[in-house]
A = this chain, B = another copy of it.
Amino acid sequence: MRIGIAGAGAMGSRFGYMLSEAGQDVTLIDSWSDHVEAIKANGLQIDWNGESRVAPFKIVYPHEVAGTFDLIICFTKAMGLDQMLSSIQSAIGPDTALLCLLNGIGHEETVRKYVPDANFILGTTIWTAGLDGPGRAHLYGSGAVALENMENSESAKRKAYEVAELLDGAGLNASYSDSVRYSIYRKATLNGAVNAMCTILECNLNTFGSTQSSEEIIVGILNEFGDVAAHEGINLDREEVLNYIHSIFSPDSIGEHYPSMYQDLVKNNRITEIDYLNGAIARKGKDYGIPTPFCELVTLLVHAKEEIRGAK
């Protein structure tokens, strides 16, 4: 099977490597030139659970892709998805399946510009991976993948099953699930209810969760996510999600942790993924006629903070 990995960062490298080892015809696609040139010259240098490996790899810039893929797996940064798909549009044929494994929500708005829902598969994964520099990845531990078709049809479901089998055959512990979209909303609701607040207030999860104001903020945002999800046929168990959110504040859990959005903006001065959390809810809310003012204001404040800090 001819597989394109759109976005050859840490996770793209992992999936690409494992599929390639399983005998699939894998092409990595990325536009970070140091990384692309390093792999073109020396292959991908892998630290596989402590063992050094080198994998020669087909890696191309987006504009270099030729022919169509049977499957494209997206692992770009959220903000880079549109440009990536636009650049590799010629490689998307009428039967090309697209598997989106990005964090956050609202990516379907982008994907739908290039792929019909019949070929569009959503997934979540708990695999991890890291990049140590251009052309160098470390791949430790184990994980799993869950996939679900976007179109509610037998043929779309079959396609999702086939892709799950393909990934599973490469040791990626993949399975079909009819609750992927639910899981994505659940996780995004957690992130939407706390990440932006820790970023705006510059504090860790426990500190935010300990303020008297936090409960009202969290419930307000949870309800906006819930209302938008319900409009898409996904009925969040709000009480369960609220308990889930409460559970992370404990220092015994990840309470001492600064969320990735904080790290992106406050620590590394990078543009955040707010548009794929609260910002996506605000956009969808407008489209659906559902009020989402807390998500709107949080998105505006994070963007203002990005701009004030000159984040890139």
Mark the stretch among A148-156, A176-184, A239-247, A301-309 that contacts chain B: A301-309
Q: How large is the interface on A (under 10, 10 to 19, 20 to 34, 35 or more residues)?
A: 20 to 34
Mark the stretch among A213-221, A226-234, A255-263 that contacts chain B: A213-221
Interface pair A291/B294, CB less than 8 Å apart: no
Collect the chain B residues with CB atoms within 8 Å of residue A121's CB.
none
Collect the chain B residues with CB atoms within 8 Å of residue A305's CB.
201
Interface residues in A196-230 by Cβ distance below 8 A to B read: 197, 200-201, 203, 207-208, 211-214, 216-217, 220
Interface pair B203/A308, CB less than 8 Å apart: yes
Q: A290 interface residue, CB < 8 Å from B?
A: no
Interface residues in A258-312 by Cβ distance below 8 A to B read: 291, 293-294, 296-298, 300-301, 303-305, 307-308
Collect the chain B residues with CB atoms within 8 Å of residue A296's CB.
216, 220
Interface pair B200/A308, CB less than 8 Å apart: no
Interface pair A308/B216, CB less than 8 Å apart: no
Q: Cα distance A208–B214 when bound, in Å?
A: 24
Q: What's the least CB distance linking A7 to chain B, in Å?
A: 27
Q: Which of B213, B293, B301 contacts A304, CB < 8 Å?
A: B213
Q: Name, among A200, A207, A211, A212, the residue most crowded by chain B CB atoms within 10 Å (CB to CB).
A: A211
Interface pair B291/A211, CB less than 8 Å apart: no
Collect the chain B residues with CB atoms within 8 Å of residue A307's CB.
211-213
Collect the chain B residues with CB atoms within 8 Å of residue A213's CB.
300-301, 303-304, 307
Other A-B contacts than A200-B301, A201-B301, A220-B296, 15 sampled, CB-CB below 8 A, are: A197-B304, A200-B200, A203-B308, A207-B308, A211-B304, A211-B308, A212-B307, A213-B304, A217-B297, A217-B300, A217-B304, A293-B293, A294-B297, A297-B297, A301-B301
- Leading 3 A-B pairs by shortest Cβ distance: A293-B293, A213-B300, A213-B304
